[in-house]
Structure 1
Amino acid sequence: MHLIWTIIIGFVAGLIAKALTPGAGPGGFFLTAALGIAGSLAATYIGQALGLYPPGHAAGFIASIIGAIVLLLGYHLFTRNRVN
Structure 2
Amino acid sequence: MGILGWIVLGLLAGLIAKAIMPGRDPGGIIITLVLGVIGAFVGGFIGRAIFNTDLGSFFEIRTWLLAILGSIILLAIYRLVTGRRAHA
Query: Contact conserved, 2:55 with 2:66, CA < 8 A, in 1?
Result: no
Give the corresponding residue for 1:8.
Answer: 8
Give the corresponding residue for 1:66.
Answer: 69
Unaligned stretches of 5+ residues in structure 1: none
Give the corresponding residue for 2:37.
Answer: 37
| TM-score, normalised via structure 1 length | 0.75
- Seen in structure 2, the aligned counterparts of structure 1 residues 10 and 62 have a Cα distance that, compared at 3 Å, is same
Quote the offset at 1:39 in angstroms.
0.3
Give the corresponding residue for 2:47.
Answer: 47
Unaligned stretches of 5+ residues in structure 2: none
Q: How many residues align?
A: 80
Query: How many Å separate the matches in 1 of 2:41 and 2:52?
Result: 15
- Seen in structure 2, the aligned counterparts of structure 1 residues 20 and 54 have a Cα distance that, compared at 3 Å, is closer
Question: Structure 1 vs Structure 2: percent identity of aligned residues?
Answer: 38
Aligned with 2:24: secondary structure?
Answer: coil
RMSD between superposed Cα atoms in Å: 2.2
| TM-score, normalised via structure 2 length | 0.72
Query: Contact conserved, 1:17 with 1:68, CA < 8 A, in 2?
Result: yes
